[in-house]
Structure 1
Amino acid sequence: MARTQCQYKSWDGTRICRESVWQGSAEGFCIFHDPSKEKNINLFKRKLARKIKREDYNFRGYYFPESVDFADHVFATEVDFEEAIFSSSTNFSNCTFSQRLNFAGTTFFDRANFLNTTFSGGAYFAGATFFGGGNFVGSTFSGGAYFAGATFFGGAFFSGTTFSGGAHFARVSFSGGAYFSGATFFDRAGFARAAFSEEAEFMGSTFSGDAHFLNATFHKWARFEESRFADVTDFVRVQFLGDTSFWKAQFENSTDFQMAVFAKNVSFLDTQFGGEINFEQSTFERNMGEDAMASALLERSYRNVKNAFLQRGNYAAAGNFYYREMEARRSRSKRMNRVWMEVYKWLCGYGEKPQRIALVSVAIIAMSALIFLFNGVIIPGGRPPVEAERFVDYNIFVDYNSLTAQLGWQLLRDFLDCLYYSVVTFVPVGGELMIPVGYSCKITVAVEGFLGIFLIVLFAIVTARKMVRQ
């Protein structure tokens, strides 16, 4: 028996088309759903024009063989393009969709133009694929805009677009550039797990509602220059793999960069933070630029964030950004200053890591004790007849056999005495001093005494500075 009704089925297996079978279809499809190259295009256009004239906007699963131009059309009722396929360019510029619009799962093989289009109801593009890119510049989404899971292989152009309802771009793949400069988000903007393979531009955008970029990935330029975030902003676990700029951005509420990764240059120059800031466990893989100018910008950016933390009393976070600020300054300093800053860094982490001074001091004391032990010192004895003075000199190069024979309690005792006198030399508290024998020990005493005074004073200054700041 010949099939008289179109055999097209939706994604869930439901037969949804009541059109008659086109006689040229080998698969039993109507003229709208048949994807063959032999499709009668004139018949397709005539029947499509009749549907539009009677305001029947059910185009679910339709296969459009040529360019389609709906420019300036007003769709007064609900429109359904779910699972439709546009084989060539599509133009919906200056259209008005008065009610709900459904482009879920639609495939655009060429450029899809929605320039200056008005979406009064909810607009659903979830799972849609734009092989030639999508142009929504200047459009207005009065209801929600749902692009979750969509894929843009060409550029995604949303510059100057207005989102009055929620903007949902979760899990969207932007394989081309993503351009949201000057866009306005009046409600929640969700870009969680979105992937930006090329440049992502949000310059001058306004986020009046929550802005969520949780687990998003920016592979190249991420530009949020002069953007305004009026509500809670979430960049938790975001990966900024290219250069990133928040120059003159305004964060008026809490901002969370927890566990974010900044792999290249990042700019917070003249950024304003009005609420709480969280950079806990964030990673800045580059603290210096490619040249002096880039390093200077990094230095100013880190200083700006540091000052914002200081204003909020978060001294630990401020210290972290002060360290990065000094790293950027060191990278652009002249050679001599760079050497001194390198020493300052390793001694105490630019004043932010005083525990390094303690470790360096312990290392100096231990090393000096070994020098005393193996190069000869006279250790004063106690009050007679308790103990007489003794000469300690374990020369491992000359008297190796004697050294191995004396390993044991005596060696340990002599080392402890040398360690004690090394501490007394490092910390000038007074008391009987050992008598160095030979120039190496005498030089060690002089150097250790100087380093001891220097490191003790440095430790006091660094610790006092941190305590006063807190």
Structure 2
Amino acid sequence: MANTECQYKSWDGSKICREPAWQGSTEGLCIFHDNSKEKNLNLFRKKLARKLKQEDYNFRGYCFPETVDFADHIFSREVDFEEAIFSSSANFSNSTFSTRVNFAGTTFFDRANFLNTTFSGGAYFAGATFFGGGNFVGSVFSGGAYFAGATFFGGAYFSGTTFSGGAHFARGSFSGGAYFSGAVFSNRAGFSKANFSEEAEFMGAKFSGDAHFLSATFHKWARFEEARFSDTTDFVKAEFMGDTSFWKARFEKSVDLQMATFAKNVSFLDTTFGDEILFEGSKFMHNTGEDPMASALLEKSYRNVKNALLERGNYSTAGEFYYREMEARRSRTSRTNWLWMTLYKWLCGYGEKPQRVVLISLAVILMSAFVFLFNGITLFGESDAAKIDYSILALRPTWQLLEDFLSTLYYSSITFSHLSQPTIAPAGGLARATVAVEGFLGIFLIILLAVVTARKMIRQ
């Protein structure tokens, strides 16, 4: 006897459907699971209405061939749409899910509308695909909201949404815009490894629990203006490839931005930090604005972070933000000041990089030694004098050449540091000019190194 029961199997290979096979199905599937274009729509509607009337909410793997409207419906029992396929739009606006609802692995080929929907139990959308975007504006998730691994090819609209339980969007993919402005996260908010291909807006969002954006990628605008983070916040290894704004954001506890990358402009203007701030290993690729006004805002933004770090005694990281602040200022200053600030930058990194003074000093000593080697110095002995004066064209690598170069290097060093050495003297006009210039540079660079080093030591 032929098997007339639906042959649909779930992802784990188990048969879960007791519906009779539809005679028009070539695969032995019921009217709900069959996905052929010749599907009997009238029969589908009739049987679907019967299930709703009986409060039978098992729709696992169902193929909805046309627009379905569940608006204002109250689902009083557990609902299962796992692996379901909505070929057209699906409307759940103002509906209520009284207990657990499962949309895991569900595919929405058109707009999925959950406007002002109430989820009283856990809502599972893990691995769901929204080709036409998903609208959850004004919805309330009283239990956990599980969107881990979900894909939004259209916009993801969660503005004004309330997440009373945890909100889990880890590894989520947002190919359209992601809009969470005004959303309320009363518990943990997880966006670790999420990928935002378009703008990501969290303006005015409230995070009462800990917020995690570990290794999240923001390809365009990332906007957290006036967002409030009441617990620990994690942006470790996050990548901000577009402009980023934390204007007037408030971090009441620690915020961790270690190893984060900011590829374009970032604003911390009027941002409030209530606890520890971690920026170790973070990268800022763009320290100047596109115009003087943008650079001025960037300068104020970096100054705000610098001052917050100084208040917490994190002088090393504060110095990095001081450097960025000066870079932004240099980009918008007058030509004369720009030249002076550029010199200040390359000499000592605006006072934050004393190692540059050391390297420049070594370069001056080395270059002067070469000048002395080829333009002559005189070594006075007890009974005679020897002159070191090589010609570039007749130069040959010998041990004597090495010994003479070490002598010129020694003379260059004592000239730079203004130590007296009466047994050595410049032999030519260029050598004497080099002594004067190197002596001046030596005084200047030694004083500069002392000032910069003392400034950093006193501050730390």
- TM-score bracket, shorter-length normalisation: over 0.9
Aligned residues: 460
Tell me the CA shift for residue 23 of structure 1: 2.2
How far apart are the structure 1 equivalents of 2:330 and 2:368?
Answer: 31
Cα gap change, 1:70/1:393 in structure 2, threshold over 3 Å: closer, same or farther?
same
SS in 2 for 1:391: strand
Query: What does residue 56 of structure 2 align with?
Result: 56
Query: What does residue 399 of structure 2 align with?
Result: 408
Query: Is residue 428 of structure 1 aligned with residue 424 of structure 2?
Result: no
Residue of structure 2 aligned with 1:392, choices 385, 388, 392: 388
Residue of structure 1 aligned with 2:442, choices 442, 449, 452: 452
Cα gap change, 1:408/1:27 in structure 2, threshold over 3 Å: closer, same or farther?
closer
Please report the TM-score for the alignment, with normalisation by the length of structure 1. 0.94
Please report the TM-score for the alignment, with normalisation by the length of structure 2. 0.96
Query: What does residue 293 of structure 1 align with?
Result: 293
Query: What does residue 149 of structure 1 align with?
Result: 149
How far apart are the structure 2 equivalents of 1:357 and 1:114?
Answer: 62
CA contact (8 A) 1:267 1:301 kept: yes
Tell me the CA shift for residue 322 of structure 1: 1.2
Q: Tell me the amino acid that sits aligned with residue 201 of structure 1.
A: E
Query: What does residue 358 of structure 1 align with?
Result: 358
How far apart are the structure 2 equivalents of 1:464 and 1:108?
Answer: 64
Tell me the CA shift for residue 64 of structure 1: 1.1
Query: What does residue 105 of structure 1 align with?
Result: 105
How far apart are the structure 2 equivalents of 1:41 and 1:412?
Answer: 95
Q: Tell me the amino acid that sits aligned with residue 151 of structure 1.
A: T
CA contact (8 A) 1:140 1:164 kept: yes
CA contact (8 A) 1:89 1:112 kept: yes
Query: What does residue 184 of structure 1 align with?
Result: 184
How far apart are the structure 2 equivalents of 1:420 and 1:389?
Answer: 17
Tell me the CA shift for residue 98 of structure 1: 0.6
Q: Tell me the amino acid that sits aligned with residue 442 of structure 1.
A: R
SS in 1 for 2:351: coil
Farther off after superposition, 354-363 or 131-140: 354-363
Query: What does residue 224 of structure 2 align with?
Result: 224
CA contact (8 A) 1:421 1:433 kept: no
SS in 1 for 2:451: helix
Query: What does residue 427 of structure 2 align with?
Result: 437
How far apart are the structure 1 equivalents of 2:103 and 2:333?
Answer: 56
How far apart are the structure 2 equivalents of 1:87 and 1:287?
Answer: 48
Q: C-alpha deviations, 1:359-404, integer Å up to 9, x for none? A: 21122112212212211233333xxxx343333322334xx2xx54
Query: What does residue 263 of structure 1 align with?
Result: 263
Tell me the CA shift for residue 213 of structure 1: 0.9
Q: Tell me the amino acid that sits aligned with residue 436 of structure 1.
A: P
Cα gap change, 1:250/1:428 in structure 2, threshold over 3 Å: closer, same or farther?
same
Identical counterparts, % of pairs: 74
How far apart are the structure 2 equivalents of 1:395 and 1:20?
Answer: 102
How far apart are the structure 2 equivalents of 1:369 and 1:62?
Answer: 84
SS in 1 for 2:387: strand
How far apart are the structure 2 equivalents of 1:465 and 1:436?
Answer: 37
Q: How does 1:148-297 map to 2 (within 5 A)?
A: 148-297=148-297
How far apart are the structure 1 equivalents of 2:165 and 2:392?
Answer: 81
SS in 1 for 2:378: strand
SS in 1 for 2:231: coil
Gaps of 5+ in 1: none
CA contact (8 A) 1:258 1:280 kept: yes
Q: C-alpha deviations, 1:335-356, integer Å up to 9, x for none? A: 2222222221111111111121
Q: Tell me the amino acid that sits aligned with residue 460 of structure 1.
A: A
How far apart are the structure 1 equivalents of 2:152 and 2:8?
Answer: 27
